Amino acid sequence: MYAIKQAARMVHVLKEEKRLEGVFKVLLNQNAHEFYNHFRDAVATADDIEAKSVSANKVRDMFNKAKAEREQIEAAGRDAIKTMKAEDLKATLEKATSTFGV
């Protein structure tokens, strides 16, 4: 029974690897901020199947950089709101606008 489950998992992993390579090919030419949710979903699936291809690693890197930048902007925004300094709020909004294209 365990061998059948392992075989089914292997088939699933192979199918997902093939599908993800197509997704990665597209994502590598996209802006990680504009397509953040697509990057997040692809990376989550890649992590689930333990994909270690060059393109999987590049997409992970792009996603992790975008995620870190978002977290930094969110933290700066929270700090600016706490202090209510207009110049800090303005700088954070400008950074978010230039980063996310809002």
What's the pLDDT at 24? 96
* Helix, strand, coil distribution of the chain in percent, nearest 5: 85, 0, 15
- Domain count of the chain? 1
- The residue segments making up the domain with residue 28 are 2-100
User: Which pTM was predicted?
Assistant: 0.76
What is the spatial distance between Cα 73 and Cα 94, in angstroms, rounded to a whole number? 10
Q: What is the pLDDT of residues 13-34, one digit of tens each?
A: 889 899 999 999 999 999 999 9
Average pLDDT of 70-86?
81
Residue 4 has pLDDT above 90, yes or no: no
What is the spatial distance between Cα 44 and Cα 89, in angstroms, rounded to a whole number? 33
pLDDT grade for 63, boundaries at 50, 70 and 90 = very high
Q: Checking phi first, is residue 78 left (phi over 0); if not, alpha (psi -120 to 50) or beta?
A: alpha
